[in-house]
Every structure is written in C-alpha cells, then in structure tokens.
Structure 1
Amino acid sequence: MESFSLKGRTAFVTGGNTGIGRAIVQLFAAQGAKVGISHIGDAAGAQALADELAASGAEAAVTECDVTDANAVARLNAWSREHLGPVDILVNAAGISGETPFVDLSIDEWDRMMAVNLRGTFLVTKQFFADMIAQKYGRVINIASQLAYKGTYDMSHYCASKAGVVGFTRALSYEGAPHGVTVNAIAPGPVETAMLASFTNEWRAMKFAQLPAGRFGETGEIAPTALLLASETGGAYFIGQTLSPNGGDVML
C-alpha cells in the first residue's frame, strides 16, 4: 500500500461531510493526508467528522462554502491557504440530485442542478488549478455519475450536468498533464447515501432491477478509486479518464 500513501500531501474535498465525499475524506486521512472539508449548512456534522479524524491522529479542517458562489469559492481558496497550505489533491464531491419528468422540469430546477454540479466544479477547480500548475504537481478528481453515459427517466437535468463534468475533465486534462497535474473523474453507480434515499421507492426499484451486481453500492467501495487517482505513483498515468465503479450498470 506504500504506492497509495498520501503522507505529506494535502487534500481538499468539497461536500466532504457526507456520502461519497465523507468516505473519501476518511480514506485519505487514513492514508496520511491532511484534509480540508467544505460543507453547506452542516457545520456540526462536518466538525464532528474533523474531530473523529483528529482523534485517530489525522489533521483535518472544515469550512462552509456554497460552491455556486464565485466570491465564496475565492474565500475558500484563501481559507485553505491559511489553514492547510498548498493543496495537492482536489476532490469535487459537492453535488445535488433529483427526479423530475422533463415536461415538469422548471428552469429554476435546471439552473440549480447546473450551478451546483457543473458550475461548482468549475469554480472550485479554477481557484486551485493555477497553484497546482505552479507547483508542478496536482490531482484533480471530479465526481460524475454513470448516468452521464446511460441517462435515465426523470433526470435529464442531473444527467446533463454530470455529462458536463465528464467533458470538463477530459478537456482540462490536456492543460494539466504537461505540468504534472492529472485531471480525472469517478462515475459511480447508485450508492447507498442520503441522496439515493431521497428518491421514490418506484425509482429505486427500477434502478435496483438494472444492476448486474444485484445491490446498490456502498460509499466505501467508491473511495478506493479516488485513492488510486490521488496517489503519486498509482494515479500518475491516468489522464482525462473517468473510472466507473457502478455495479455493472454501465459497461464501458
């Protein structure tokens, strides 16, 4: 596991207080990284996670940030420099979901989905990317979805936003790779999180029936993919890739 050690590295995970982001934070910390965590409206939960990590000997710091707000994201970068120092690994895990038939989909719903999932990924990456280029090292990991490839009922806005994340990842990788900065994405299948629990029983049953694995995934089954991409040696030759631990929902 020495190839996957993050000792001496600093990571920042947006949406790191819950779900897949939380599992990534916990694994990165266990592998020796100093970790920054952003949340929105969950100060107590995020701080409890940081305290849990500190009790195990890890170093973590938390802050609140609305990733759709350019000024808030600029403040996030300043906060990160003060409390963490240079960031080597960025994970864009903040995201939202939802199911609405297209004929009922409002412009506000569409715009909100794009603002969090796609604009947020852009804004946060833009704040950290230049520093990674300057230091000649970096790992950017964007959380997409297998639905970027497959699509599904009642989620055109979500699928489009995650497809945008995949395209952004591929394009930016060309600009980062010559400077030692890799840009990749993870496209998980359905994972047991609060987000998945918010879907209707009908939608969950439909999705469950499509999975060759015969079950939904767990957050701890997604985090190791992030560790692979974040590691210095294991992730070095992944450029512009989207890895998809998805229970067979999409086979690329």
Structure 2
Amino acid sequence: MGDIQESGDTDRLAPVLRPVRAGNGFEEALEQILQVVRLGLVAYGERLPAERELADRLGVSRVTLREVLRVLQDQGLVESRRGRYGGTFVRQRPEVAGGAAGEELRRRIEKVDVEDTLRFREVLEVGAAGLCAAHGLSPEQAGRLREALAATHDAPLADYRRLDTMLHLTVAELCGSPSLASQYAAVRATVNDLLDCIPLLVRNLEHSQQQHIALVDAVLEGDADGAREVMREHCAGTAALLRGFLA
C-alpha cells in the first residue's frame, strides 16, 4: 500500500498546500485538500499526510481539519482506517461515464469557461517552462524533473493522467515563482475535470510523451525559446482535443 509519508515525497504537495487566510479557514483548507485529491498528488490507495502535518501546513486547528476530512469522507473521496497503519486514505474514484459521479462532474464543468481555462493554463505553462530554462535548475532540481518524466514512461493508462499532472506541476514548481505554481495547481485541477470527460487516446498520449521529452531536453539545455514553443504546442494539442469533444 502506497504511503506519501513513508516515501518521503511530500514536496509534491508544495504547489497546493499553504497557510490559509484568516476568516475562511475551513473553506480554504477544504479547497486545497480537494485539489490534492483531484490532481492525484496523493494517488488512489495512498495515505494523506498525518493530521498534525496537514494542520500545520494549512495553518488550521486539528478540529477544523477533521471537519474538512469528514466532508471528504461523506463525499466518498477518502476513507478513514484505524490501527497501526491507519490514517486517511484516498479512495478509488468511480467511473465518470455514468451514474452519480458522472452527473456531478458534468454539473461542475457546465460552470467552467473552457476557453478562459485553456488560455490561462497556456500562459502559466509556457511561462513556467521558459523560466525554468532561462534561470537554470540545480542538479537536485534537474534530477526531480528527470524523475517526473521517467515516471510517465510506460505508465499504465489508468495512472497516466496523474503522472502527467505530476510532471507539469514539477515544471511549475521549479520555475521559481510560488505564486505561479499555486495558480497553476488550481487551473490544472479544472483541466483534469475537463480531461476526465474525454477518452484517453493512445495516439495522443504517444505524441504528448514525445513533447514531454523535448520539453525536458530544452529546459535542461537552457533553451528558453525552445521550451516555451514545445509547451505552447503541447497545450494547443490538449486544447484541441477538449474543444473537439466538449464543444
């Protein structure tokens, strides 16, 4: 069973989890943990960080955090397990093609301005790629980027979208702007909702993977113009699919 804490890989939550503002602690904490789940930053079957760590990172009381987790449990997104290896675990999401989950997702995306979401996503992604290449990455950061890319290679279809998200979030996080990374995490959660409404196409995934490789190569070579252009094309491809299926 996967465990985000035992893996030591809590950095993947950095673009999303941040201290909430006074006055809306419950709502903002719920929003952030929902983003963690929707983005797949904690995979199905993995355990969320311990209550103490989550409360500290969000800047809320453990009472408030438990109220948030109770809502997520009521919605069927997480489950609580007791015992030595207990905690709060992310549940497998139901198929979205039909049933209550599908209806809920469709209601949610009906309120989304698709064009605005796609354009904002492109601005953030292209900017982040260019910044990473222009400013350069440390050896440790370059290693993180390579690892995120490697994880997408030969990934099973069921896990590809989550690992793809992790790669893009890594680029956003490494660009040096926490504000950009935070905004990207929010818009990517909406993009993932849209992507959940269209099929996974093997041909498209193969093409995307080629673009991922070219992107990482450009970033590591310090080719800012190349990194921006690859990312722009990559975003345009995803946007074309979403427009085609959802228009």
Q: TM-score normalised to the size of structure 2?
A: 0.36
Q: TM-score normalised to the size of structure 1?
A: 0.35
Structure having the larger proportion of residues in strand: 1
Structure having the larger proportion of residues in helix: 2
Structure index of larger Rg = 2
